[in-house]
Amino acid sequence: MSGKSIGGVLVLTGLVIMGLVGLLGREASPAPAATNRWTGLASPLPPEQAFQKAWERAREWQPDAVLVRVEASWRPGERWLEVRTLPVTWLFTFYSSAARALATVSVNAEKTYWIPPVEVAYAPRPLPAFPPPYGVDRMWMTFRAAGGEEFVRQYPDALIHIVLQVGEEGTVWQMDAVGVERSLKVRMSAETGVLIP
């Protein structure tokens, strides 16, 4: 299975889990109005703290587990443009060479969810450190400055997906924003803070 197909599976799994998190987190109440939509928003939790929770759970699974991918998806809308700590549920994917499998931990301020392991035929590259030298706050500012702020204002219901993983160019943050009529991709080195064309 290629890295892109694994990434696609993880993104899809993450979106399903985030949808479940939203559903499970609600108390029983009358059906919401048809205008309510999934946003992916959660109580803010700094990614460093979310990682600690995920790391503890992953080490319970396999002591050799290493972090290989970090991601989140949400619909920020204009009201979230100014935030520094992104109000999202983080997904941390770990690889165990002993189990030859990937497992994901979903974390927000209220809950931690375990996504069972999936066997893989290759060993993905581990992230050298988390958080990286240039964290998600820098990526969020870079995204906004590189056209993201204008994009979100134009498409306030846009879906944004952020990923941190190791590729050919080193450790890279990537933000993909998808609006009704167009999309925007912004990539930044997590090691140097430099925008990647």
Q: Tell me the pLDDT of the chain (197 aa) as tens digits.
A: 455 545 544 444 554 444 433 433 433 444 444 455 678 888 778 899 999 999 999 999 999 999 999 999 998 887 777 777 788 899 999 999 999 999 999 999 889 999 999 999 999 999 999 999 999 999 999 999 999 999 999 999 999 999 999 999 999 999 999 999 999 999 999 999 999 99
Q: Are strands 90-96 and 112-119 parallel, antiparallel or unpaired?
A: unpaired
**β-pair partners for 177:** 160, 184
Which residues lie below 8 Å from residue 176, measured CB to CB, with a gap of 6+? Answer: 160, 161, 162, 183, 184, 185
Cα–Cα distance, 104 to 97 (Å, whole number): 15
| Structure token digits, residue 142 | 């870079």
Residue 119 pLDDT: 97
| Structure token digits, residue 136 | 């998600």
100: left (phi over 0), alpha (psi -120 to 50) or beta: left
Cβ(146)–Cβ(186) below 8 Å: yes
Contacts 24+ apart (CB under 8 A), 23-26: 25/110, 25/111
Its domain, for residue 135, covers 3-196
Residue 33 pLDDT: 46
Residue 38 pLDDT: 76
Q: How many structural domains comprise the chain?
A: 1
Cα–Cα distance, 57 to 134 (Å, whole number): 25
Cα–Cα distance, 160 to 183 (Å, whole number): 10
Cα–Cα distance, 25 to 28 (Å, whole number): 10
Q: Which of 152, 141, 16, 193 is nearest to 91 (CA)?
A: 16
26: left (phi over 0), alpha (psi -120 to 50) or beta: beta
Cα–Cα distance, 93 to 51 (Å, whole number): 10
